[in-house]
Amino acid sequence: MQLDKGKVKSQRCSSCAGKHAWQIFPHRYSPNGKTHWGWKGGRYTSGSGYLYILRSDHHRANKLGYVAEHIFVWEKAHNQPLPDGWVVHHLNGKKQDNRPENLLGMAKRGHSSTLLLKEVQKKVRKLEAKLAQQRLC
């Protein structure tokens, strides 16, 4: 039993009260979807930094219905599915920059030549900084 200023606040102890709150107030506790309090519009960032979007009908969707946004954007821009054995690489190295012009689809074997890609990333970042300066002037 919980007391608040000498009056009975709840018949349950504090550890049990939270467990049964969904039965007392079901309208506040939606298990999933758009009505859930933690809904972020069907997007989340993975632990590795990639953005995922909710597209349960996509052929590359995981068991929860999410697909990597960079793959989805690349496929939409090229009007074809990403071939087997290919990966999508971010030219500027920023995993959340999923503009079509920043995405490069390539064979997984070619993706391992990271030295060349790091040089390309440096050049792209310099060009982006230069463009940003020009916009400010």
| pLDDT attached to residue 71 | 97
The sign of the dihedral angle between the CA atoms of 8, 9, 13, 17 is positive
| pLDDT attached to residue 116 | 63
Side chain identity, residue 52 = Y
C-beta separation of 20 from 29 below 8 A:
no
Domain segments of the chain: what residues? Answer: 1-39, 42-136
CA atoms within 13 A on the CB side of 127: 9
Whether 115 has a pLDDT exceeding 70, the answer reads no
Whether 20 has a pLDDT exceeding 80, the answer reads no
Q: Measure the CA–CA gap between 70 and 105, rounded to whole angstroms.
A: 10
The CATH classification of domain 42-136, taken from the options 3.90.75, 1.10.8, 3.30.110, 3.40.630 = 3.90.75
DSSP code of residue 14: H
pLDDT, tens only, 46-104 = 999 999 999 999 999 999 899 999 999 999 999 999 999 998 988 888 999 999 988 88
- Which residue(s) pair with 45 in the sheet? 51
Instruction: List, in sequence order, the alpha helices (H) in 18-84.
Output: 21-24, 69-78
Q: What is the mean pLDDT of the chain?
A: 79
Sheet holding 66-68, edge to edge: 43-45, 51-54, 66-68
pLDDT, tens only, 24-45 = 555 555 566 777 767 778 899 9
